[in-house]
Amino acid sequence: MKEMYISEIAKELSEENLALFCGAGFSMSSGFVSWKELMRPIAKEIQLDIEKETDMVAIAQYHVNANASNRHKLNQLLIDEFSKNAKLTENHAIIARFPVQEYWTTNYDKLIETALEKQGRIPDVKSTVEQLAYTKPKRDAVVYKMHGDIGSPDKAVLTKDDYESYHIKYRQFIIALAGSLVSRTFLFIGFSFKDPNLDYILGRIRVAYNSNQRRHFCFIKEINKDDYTDEKEYEYDRIKFELFVSDLGRFNIKAIRITDYSEITKTLKQVESLYKRKTIFISGAASDYGVRKKDDALIFIHNLSKTLVQKGYKIVSGFGLGVGSSVITGALEEIYLNPNQSSNDQLLLRPFPQDVTGSIDKNTLWKKYREDLCLYSGIAIFLFGNKLESGNIINSNGMVTEFEIAFEKGLFLIPIGSTGFIAEEIWNKINSNFDRYAYNTASLVSNFKMLNDKSKSDHEIIEVVMDILKEVINK
């Protein structure tokens, strides 16, 4: 069931229908304390034992009441906790790479928008009703902070008063979230579903759409028997947990069960890997085309690229010498001839800078550039692999680097050995150790063998590549 959910989330991600909702649990691994720990000094001040309390919102309200409706200490607590230099986690980096347009959160920290900026994206942050009316130029993601931002702690939604008046003061956030829950598939991470605002929205969507609610997903940590010393207490909590998971079904929220929080990272990586496997990095360079005539080789590259776009794949190209131009024309031909089936975003061009200026040397810059190319992709296809140097044809060391980076980044590798040179060397390397390179089925191995069969026509080689891709995508 879990694998099926992961595949469905990856599909929604590839179709740009996925939205993320990050709760307090998502930020805890960055070094922030839990709500319970945050409220500990507050509870102590009003003579309550935090270990006996479960409603942290009520604790915050009691403290405000005890201080004549003054929440200065609460505000200062938020500033002290959420203004410290917390580190971004691997989870933040992964979700920032996702092509997600909407990030929702109840957290006050700035980690999501910071992670997006580190990925070169432009987040449009909405933490007040007034900000909803404005659009940040060139934004490519909106971060909805429905409980406010650490920059304005006095406006943070924290107490019972805040929650009870939310539907009036923040009505526009409710409307926006309700609309997104209807039109997008949400993945909830680090969220307890105890937020009355979300409960209010989900309830009204359930009533309005009844059995036609959109499917959503959430991570839920299972009850661990090892955490209990009392058998009856464990059994009680286990039953309550199962009832809670069942109740999520009323809102068509499917639970992705985990036994440890590290599984969230693993699952997000799986989603990213599945999503990226529809994006293919074509690595190649050629001053000599081996057994092929130049024109035949260029037509082969052209048709390979065209077929990939035709089958719905995205292509990433570094515009390799003698290869890149045919990759581009093949992709563009399919995009322009069949605009209803193909789109411009199926071709991502990242030509290598030739004249390097500045303090970074060319080799360092190019290595980083190659890492970026692989970061976009889940599969790498290798073609030819040679260059002209001092009047001699030599193997392309840059293509060797691309192979090493692609393997290190976990890309699935498809060397077309029949094109010779570095591509054939990579083919030989994989041929000697199939398991290491994820050629772990009889059909994958059989098709792989044909990639180095020089008696096969170019059309047959392209069909073999498509068969390999189909199996890898559907694994």
Instruction: Evaluate if residue 344 carries a pLDDT over 80.
Output: no
Mean of per-residue pLDDT scores for the chain: 92
According to the model, what pLDDT value does residue 33 have?
77
User: Mean pLDDT over residues 330-349, rounded?
Assistant: 85
Q: Is 180 left (phi over 0), alpha (psi -120 to 50) or beta?
A: alpha
The predicted-structure confidence for 382-431, as pLDDT tens digits, reads as follows 999 999 999 999 999 999 999 999 999 999 999 999 999 999 999 999 99
Q: Which long-range contacts (CB under 8 A, 24 or more apart) does 28-33 make?
A: 28/190, 29/89, 29/91, 29/261, 30/86, 30/87, 30/88, 30/89, 30/92, 30/109, 30/111, 31/84, 31/86, 31/87, 32/81, 32/82, 32/86, 32/109, 33/81
What digits encode the pLDDT tens for the residues 180-228?
999 999 999 998 887 777 888 888 888 888 888 999 999 999 999 999 9
Confirm whether 63 is a catalytic residue: no
For residue 308, give both structure tokens: 């990939």
Mean pLDDT along residues 53-69: 91
Q: What pLDDT, on the 0 to 100 scale, is given for residue 353? A: 64
Asked whether the domain spanning 277-473 has the same topology as the one spanning 2-32+86-274, the reply is yes
CATH topology for 277-473? Rossmann fold (3.40.50)
Summarised one tens digit per residue, pLDDT across range 438-461 is 999 999 999 999 999 999 999 999
pTM, 2 dp: 0.84
Radius of gyration, alpha carbons of the chain: 27
Catalytic residue among 147, 167, 302, 459: 147
Topology, domain 2-32+86-274: Rossmann fold (3.40.50)
The residues spanned by each domain of the chain are 2-32+86-274, 277-473
Tens digits of residue pLDDT in 252-295: 999 999 999 899 999 999 999 899 999 999 999 999 999 999 99
Where residue 338 falls among pLDDT bands split at 50, 70, 90?
confident
Select, from the ranges 56-60, 65-69, 382-386, the one with the highest average predicted confidence (pLDDT): 382-386
pLDDT tops 90 at residue 1: no
d(CA 104, CA 334): 37
Q: How confident is the model at residue 357 (pLDDT cuts 50, 70, 90)?
A: low
Whether residue 354 is predicted with pLDDT greater than 70 in this model: the reply is no
Residue 359: the pLDDT is 64
| pLDDT tens-digit map of 284-329 | 999 999 999 999 999 999 999 999 999 999 999 988 899 999 999 9
Report whether pLDDT(355) > 70: no
Q: Is it the case that residue 343 has pLDDT exceeding 90?
A: no
Instruction: Name the most confidently modeled range: 53-57, 337-341, 343-347, 383-387.
Output: 383-387
Residues 6+ away with beta carbon under 8 Å from 53: 39, 43, 59
Phi and psi for 97 in degrees, rounded to 5?
Answer: -80, -20
Question: Residue 83 pLDDT more than 80?
Answer: no
Share of the chain above pLDDT 90, in %: 73
Helix (H, G, I), strand (E, B) or coil at 256: strand
In terms of Cα–Cα distance, which of 19, 29, 63 is closest to 44?
A: 63
Residue that wins the pLDDT comparison between 362 and 69: 69
Whole-number pLDDT of residue 316 = 93
Q: Are 61 and 159 in contact (CB under 8 A)?
A: yes
Ranking 58-72, 138-152, 362-376 by mean pLDDT, the lowest is: 362-376
Average pLDDT over residues 99-122: 95
